[in-house]
């Protein structure tokens, strides 16, 4: 069984054809998706690919990522070895020996060492998966089998070389001891006289396993070896990800309920997932035992595409529903469990977009089927009828300012609009934040005005909940009002208003300069416009990142710096902070929904905050404040107070 092209060539051709067919069968399905331009800004894309795909920046965010980096880089080197292996199998005259020694010798040496590193990394990966799997279901046969195959390839490679070395003598032997130290080690175990047998066995093992491995890729999560790098290159450039606008014309359908409603890139995402589970570990819904698992959503999308794709290609309707129960469908409860916190997007090493795939499903349920959790009916009607979540009369909006005196925004006179938001206008607790902020603005001599009863809800919850129709109405009304009043600079105290006014409204043709109060208060202190006569004495203070302030808008430092100035000490950090911050449970419209399944997200987060033994938990979002305040009350930690950053600043400036 010497490597003979007459046997290997047909095998190789069949295996390669099969591999190409499998890849084509899958990747061609992405053509069912809608158009999406992902080829803008090529320079930036190349640079992102280098740092995220090749330098594996996000993979390295976790220590276990080191193993992956080792395997990835070894793979790249071993591509050279395997190319030689295949060429040699097809054309026995071709091997490294035809290269000049100055090239072939170091190459052989590198490959020998790299093979050992690969072997060790694969063993480490197997042990890690066995002992401390990223998530319990990660111990799949497939995962271990692939590791086993890689290990076999390495051992077979050593076998081939060891067998060769065992048949060498004298100077040649010494040379190869030097060049192939690892293979030489294995050569000692080759029984005398079996060199050829060991060589042929190893060679054919390597050949067959290589072809098997290649063919397993498209069938398994290891397809990511082929798709992940392009997936990083084709990543969404704009941040935060914005849902598409919808065109409300008769005859259109809204949202997505069939897999071909997604873009080709979103479909490619489903083939790029290697099931590492990082999104899942970061997901507040999954971590509190709700039936939403972002990894599962991507897998369900893939299965749905595989099941329906061939039919859809022929112009026939899908048979497996996209929204529903089962392995190839996404359940309604999963769809409604998302807090849109964006932790999955932040965690994914290959930029798969999990959360944005759920919004169009919500849109379909709300806009096409009127199917949504009961609690949302009131919310939707209140938002549409009275432009606030509680259904309070819009005329009550400016009442928080009763004691200060209403300060209408006047074009040309007021520098900033203070866009108070629904919570800040109507919620008794959040109104205190509004008043504190207003007093601080006055103290600093900031020129500001408010819209009072003319202010409307920004529509954040509606948009995240998939009620794009009503969001669209509100957004148009707000944008028209802002334009009419000549508003350009806006102060907000709610990160949901922040992101909606600043990012979502761009789709409606307005670019507002929106500043969160946590930023403005810091700048006012830094500019000396706010003096700190004393430090706020609130004891030990821990800061909780709002998802829409942090992950969605990148504001991490300013609140911390402002708190450090106000209290004289850096705020305490929870284990999950900044980019890895854990949601309070209220984002994505979850503020208005009951939480029936699993643990309550706000209790988990409140407990995490209490572990730091703080006297004060500081938030920068009225929703977070409500959730954490409820959380500490439920945990009977009444001595701990939850305060907004403006209230902390007010303690230092105004008391």
Partner 1 sequence: MLIVACIKQVPDTTQVKIDPVTNTLVREGIPFIMNPYDTHAMEAALQLKDQFGCRVAVLSMGPPNAEATLRKALSAGVDRAILLSDRVFGGADTLATSKVLAAAIAKLNDELEPVGLVICGKQTIDGDTAQVGPGIAVRLGYQQLTLVDKVEELDLAARKLVVSRKLEGRHERVQAPLPSMLTVVRELNRPRYPTVPMRLAAATAEVEVWDNSVLQLDPQTIGLKGSPTWVSKIFSPERDKGEIVGDGYADPEGTVDLLLGKLMEKDLLPL
Residues that bind partner 1 (CB under 8 A): 248-250, 252-254, 366-370, 372, 374, 377, 380-381, 385-386, 391-395, 428-429, 432, 469
- In whole angstroms, give the CA distance from residue 397 to residue 198: 84
Q: Which is nearer to partner 1, 145 or 248 (CB)?
A: 248
Q: Which is nearer to partner 1, 36 or 454 (CB)?
A: 454
Strands, E assignment, 407-516: 416-419, 448-449, 489-492, 513-516
- In whole angstroms, give the CA distance from residue 606 to residue 22: 48
The region that residue 496 occupies, defined by phi over 0 for left and psi between -120 and 50 for alpha, beta otherwise, is alpha
- In whole angstroms, give the CA distance from residue 312 to residue 624: 43
H helix or E strand, kind and range, residue 642: strand 641-644
Strands, E assignment, 482-521: 489-492, 513-516
Q: Which is nearer to partner 1, 67 or 401 (CB)?
A: 401
- In whole angstroms, give the CA distance from residue 198 to residue 191: 9
DSSP annotation of 576: S
> 212 and 148 in contact (C-beta within 8 Å)?
no
Q: Which is nearer to partner 1, 199 or 431 (CB)?
A: 431
User: Token pair for residue 138?
Assistant: 């990660």
Q: Which is nearer to partner 1, 271 or 471 (CB)?
A: 471
Supply the minimum distance, in Å, between the C-beta of residue 322 and partner 1: 18
- In whole angstroms, give the CA distance from residue 431 to residue 423: 7
Residues facing residue 423 across a β-bridge = none
Supply the minimum distance, in Å, between the C-beta of residue 597 and partner 1: 22
Supply the minimum distance, in Å, between the C-beta of residue 266 and partner 1: 22
User: Token pair for residue 618?
Assistant: 């500081």
User: Token pair for residue 269?
Assistant: 């995402």
Supply the minimum distance, in Å, between the C-beta of residue 367 and partner 1: 4
Supply the minimum distance, in Å, between the C-beta of residue 618 and partner 1: 18
Q: Which is nearer to partner 1, 406 or 611 (CB)?
A: 406
120-146 burial: b if 16+ Cβ within 10 Å, else e: ebbebbbeebeeeebeeebeeeebeeb
Sole residue written with tokens 């706000």 = 602
User: Token pair for residue 601?
Assistant: 């997200």
DSSP-assigned letters across all residues of 85-126 = HHHHHHSTT-SGGGS-HHHHHHHHHHHHHHHHHHHHHHHHHH
Question: What SS3 class is residue 33?
Answer: coil
Neighbours of 321 (CB within 10 A): 16
Distances (CA, A) of 218 to 8, 25, 27: 22, 9, 9
Number of residues that this document lists for the chain: 655
Supply the minimum distance, in Å, between the C-beta of residue 357 and partner 1: 20
Question: What SS3 class is residue 635?
Answer: coil
**Closest of 332, 430, 438, 432 to residue 390, by C-alpha:** 430
Q: Which is nearer to partner 1, 224 or 364 (CB)?
A: 364
Q: Which is nearer to partner 1, 65 or 466 (CB)?
A: 466
Q: Which is nearer to partner 1, 93 or 250 (CB)?
A: 250
Q: Which is nearer to partner 1, 385 or 568 (CB)?
A: 385
DSSP annotation of 570: P
Q: Which is nearer to partner 1, 110 or 392 (CB)?
A: 392
Supply the minimum distance, in Å, between the C-beta of residue 469 and partner 1: 5
User: Token pair for residue 501?
Assistant: 């006014």
Q: Which is nearer to partner 1, 298 or 366 (CB)?
A: 366
Supply the minimum distance, in Å, between the C-beta of residue 401 and partner 1: 16
Supply the minimum distance, in Å, between the C-beta of residue 620 and partner 1: 20
Question: What SS3 class is residue 330?
Answer: strand
Q: Which is nearer to partner 1, 433 or 444 (CB)?
A: 433
> 204 and 212 in contact (C-beta within 8 Å)?
no
User: Token pair for residue 598?
Assistant: 């699993």
- In whole angstroms, give the CA distance from residue 394 to residue 357: 34
Supply the minimum distance, in Å, between the C-beta of residue 245 and partner 1: 13
Cis peptide before 353, with omega less than 30 degrees from 0? no
DSSP annotation of 35: P
Q: Which is nearer to partner 1, 392 or 564 (CB)?
A: 392
Question: What SS3 class is residue 28?
Answer: helix
User: Token pair for residue 419?
Assistant: 């866009």
Supply the minimum distance, in Å, between the C-beta of residue 45 and partner 1: 36
Sole residue written with tokens 């089962």 = 326
Supply the minimum distance, in Å, between the C-beta of residue 252 and partner 1: 8
Supply the minimum distance, in Å, between the C-beta of residue 627 and partner 1: 19
**Closest of 555, 599, 562, 613 to residue 579, by C-alpha:** 555
Supply the minimum distance, in Å, between the C-beta of residue 426 and partner 1: 13
Q: Which is nearer to partner 1, 188 or 250 (CB)?
A: 250
Supply the minimum distance, in Å, between the C-beta of residue 366 and partner 1: 8
Supply the minimum distance, in Å, between the C-beta of residue 429 and partner 1: 7
Q: Which is nearer to partner 1, 469 or 523 (CB)?
A: 469
Distances (CA, A) of 47 to 55, 223, 227, 234, 373: 10, 23, 18, 12, 44
Q: Which is nearer to partner 1, 385 or 554 (CB)?
A: 385
Supply the minimum distance, in Å, between the C-beta of residue 258 and partner 1: 16
């Amino acid at each position: 069984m010497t490597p003979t092209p007459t046997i290997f060539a047909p095998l190789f051709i069949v295996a390669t054809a099969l591999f190409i067919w499998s890849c084509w069968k899958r990747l061609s399905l992405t053509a069912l998706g809608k158009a999406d331009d992902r080829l803008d800004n090529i320079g930036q894309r190349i640079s992102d690919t280098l740092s995220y795909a090749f330098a594996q920046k996000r993979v390295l965010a976790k220590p276990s990522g080191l193993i992956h980096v080792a395997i990835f880089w070894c793979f790249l080197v071993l591509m050279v070895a395997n190319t030689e292996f295949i060429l040699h199998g097809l054309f026995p005259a071709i091997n490294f020996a035809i290269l000049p020694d100055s090239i072939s010798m170091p190459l052989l040496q590198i490959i020998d060492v790299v093979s050992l590193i690969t072997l060790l990394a694969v063993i480490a990966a197997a042990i890690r998966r066995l002992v401390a799997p990223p998530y319990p279901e990660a111990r799949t046969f497939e995962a271990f089998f692939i590791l086993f195959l890689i290990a076999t390839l390495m051992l077979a490679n050593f076998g081939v070389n060891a067998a060769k070395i065992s048949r060498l003598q004298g100077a040649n032997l010494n040379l190869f001891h030097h060049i192939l130290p690892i293979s030489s080690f294995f050569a000692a175990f080759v029984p005398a006289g079996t060199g050829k047998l060991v060589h042929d066995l190893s060679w054919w093992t390597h050949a067959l396993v290589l072809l098997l491995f290649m063919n397993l890729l498209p069938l398994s999560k290891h397809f990511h070896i082929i798709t992940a790098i392009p997936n990083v290159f084709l990543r969404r450039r704009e941040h935060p990800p914005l849902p598409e606008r919808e065109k409300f014309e008769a005859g259109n359908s809204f949202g997505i309920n069939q897999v071909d409603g997604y873009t080709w890139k979103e479909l490619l995402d489903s083939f790029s997932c290697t099931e590492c589970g990082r999104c899942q570990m970061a997901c507040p819904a999954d971590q509190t035992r709700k039936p939403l698992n972002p990894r599962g959503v991507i897998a369900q999308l893939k299965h749905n595409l595989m099941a329906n794709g061939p039919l859809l290609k022929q112009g026939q309707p899908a048979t497996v529903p996209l929204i529903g129960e089962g392995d190839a469908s996404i359940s309604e409860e999963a769809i409604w469990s998302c807090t849109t916190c964006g932790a999955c997007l932040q965690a994914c090493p290959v930029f798969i977009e999990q959360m944005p795939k759920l919004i169009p499903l919500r849109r379909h349920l709300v806009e096409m089927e009127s199917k949504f959790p009961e609690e949302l009916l009131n919310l939707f009607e209140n938002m549409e009828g009275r432009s606030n979540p509680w259904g309070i009369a819009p005329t009550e909006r400016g009442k928080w300012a009763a004691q200060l005196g209403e300060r209408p925004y006047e074009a040309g006179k007021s520098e900033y609009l203070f866009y108070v938001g629904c919570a800040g206008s109507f919620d008794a607790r959040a109104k205190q934040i509004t008043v504190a902020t207003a007093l601080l603005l006055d103290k600093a001599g900031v020129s500001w005005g408010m819209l009072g009863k003319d202010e409307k809800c920004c529509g954040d919850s509606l948009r995240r909940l998939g009620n794009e129709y009503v969001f669209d109405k509100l957004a148009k009304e707000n944008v028209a009002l802002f334009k009419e009043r000549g508003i350009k600079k806006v102060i907000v105290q709610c990160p949901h208003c922040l992101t909606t006014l600043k990012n979502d409204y761009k789709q409606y043709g307005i670019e507002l300069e929106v500043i969160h109060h946590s930023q403005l208060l810091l700048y006012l202190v830094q500019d000396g416009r706010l003096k700190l006569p004393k430090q706020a004495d609130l004891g030990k203070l821990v800061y909780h990142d709002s998802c829409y302030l942090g992950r969605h808008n990148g504001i991490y430092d300013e609140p911390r710096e402002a708190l450090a100035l106000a209290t004289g000490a850096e705020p305490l950090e929870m284990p999950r902070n900044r980019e890895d911050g854990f949601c309070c449970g209220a984002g994505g419209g979850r503020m208005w929904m009951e939480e029936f399944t699993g643990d309550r997200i706000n209790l988990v987060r409140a407990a995490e905050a209490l572990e730091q033994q703080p006297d004060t938990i500081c938030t920068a979002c009225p929703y977070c404040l409500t959730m954490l305040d409820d959380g500490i009350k439920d945990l009977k930690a009444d001595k701990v107070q939850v305060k907004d950053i403006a209230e902390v600043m007010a303690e230092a400036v105004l008391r």
